[in-house]
Amino acid sequence: MKYRKEKDSLGTVTVPEDAYYGASTQRAINNFPISGLRFSRSFIFSLAMIKKCAAMVNGELGLLDEKISKSIVASAQEIMEGKFDTQFPVDVFQTGSGTSTNMNMNEVIASRANETITGEKGGKIPVHPNDHVNLGQSSNDVIPSALHISALTRIKGRLVPALLRLKKSLLHKTSEMGDVKKIGRTHLQDAVPIFLGQEFSGYARQVALGIKRIEAVEDRLAELALGGTAVGNGLNTHPDFAKKVVALISKYSNLNFTEAENHFEAQGAQDAAVETSGALKTIAVSLVKICNDIRWLASGPRCGLGEISIPSVQPGSSIMPGKINPVIPEAVIQAAVQVMGNDTTIMIGGQAGNFELNVMLPVIAYNLLQSIDLLSSGADVLAEKCIDGIGANRGNCAGNIEKSLALATYLVPHIGYDKAAAIANKAHETGKTIIQVASEEEILSEKELKKIFNGLKID
């Protein structure tokens, strides 16, 4: 491999000849070979968008030469289009402000801009990564802004549509199975009958509330730290810079971003990310409840509950022929568990706001975006490959009701709790149904019993 020499404030570093990044990025690669984890495409896209809009505004304000401004804009646009994805190799675990990734972006843009102007990549002439690409900015306000932009973009463009798709699927099953009576359960024990559609309506409502919860954080995510520069006081940036850049970001993203109301809060804390992660965790918990219920309801099929059937998407066992496991619910549960773990990481990261800067920005950003993507994909997969194909096993549902001792509950208003409990105990001891024992005991007339239990359509 051929190398070239690149200089930064610490001296000279050798950089691969085909690399667009420079010395600062190479030092980060050398110093942080910790995890092999990289920022997601959505984060790099958002960071490039900030640089593009910043260059446009700095050109408009007369702070950048027109040729330099346009070259930066064009280079940032290419990055947004994914043409330089391989040029962002810096590990997620780096300096807590994300400076390494910010400089990685600055260097790639400057290098590409220089290539378009001079024919040679790299270097700092005529386009300088700090003086031109990073003009009016600091890692301390750019990285939290990129975090907010990418998170809100993924929530609006990916997560909410996926949750709406899942809700629609669950509501369809609510209607489709609305007349299927089954036994209800509390404490994993038989309770009084309900309709299978009612059970699924609860799942649909969980998802609907999850959508409301994540939408409730949008106003806080819409606030961007841009304009605060190093410590929140806006040193070395034009007074109109932030307002104009945020307006352009809103235009290109089709979302309504605003400049942070208080830049010291926006950079010293990451409460919006913590709040968002809490909403994501709640959605994850909802998905686990739904998926676990589906696993139970489909268990068996002959020696479990077997009240519903789920699609067969792959052989369920490497040793037991014909076994169909709930692989989709189990995969979604694992993704949800990862989201819960990410929330703990983000919560701890949120506590690292020391004075004017939070120094856990990269790990907060990585985990938050991963949680959004996991829940988005999980909701889509659950709807398409599981919920849509669920069917009711009507015979099992009806049979479970008939056998249930919980039917004694319907006798309580007529004969009292103690007598109803005695009938339930006798039914349990003899293996008979509640209806059979109640009829044999002659505690109520056949006409009354028929009236009580016919409402359940059990003849």
Catalytic residues: 187, 317
User: What does residue 189 show for φ and ψ, rounded to 5 degrees?
Assistant: -115, 155
Q: Which residues, 6+ apart, have CB-to-CB distance to 157 below 8 Å?
A: none
Pairing of strands 353-354, 357-358: antiparallel
Helix, strand, coil % in the chain, rounded to nearest 5: 60, 10, 30
Cα separation of 411 and 413, whole Å?
6
In order of 44, 110, 154, 369, 370, the CA distances from 41 in angstroms are 5, 20, 11, 10, 11
Cα separation of 10 and 102, whole Å?
18
CA 248 from chain centre, in angstroms, equals 26
The owner of tokens 């993507």 is: 373
Cα separation of 86 and 432, whole Å?
70
Give just the sign of the alpha carbon dihedral 109, 110, 111, 117: positive
User: What does residue 15 show for φ and ψ, rounded to 5 degrees?
Assistant: -125, 140
Whether the upstream peptide bond of residue 326 has omega within 30° of 0, thus cis, is no
Cα separation of 104 and 28, whole Å?
9
Q: Strands, DSSP E only, in 298-359?
A: 308-309, 353-354, 357-358
Pairing of strands 258-259, 353-354: unpaired
Under 8 Å between Cβ of 279 and 159 = no
Q: Which two tokens stand for residue 459?
A: 């003849």
Cα separation of 256 and 43, whole Å?
18
Length of the chain counted residue by residue: 459
The three-class DSSP label of residue 216 is coil
Among the listed residues 127, 157, 283, the one whose alpha carbon sits nearest the alpha carbon of residue 213: 283
The owner of tokens 């309709």 is: 195
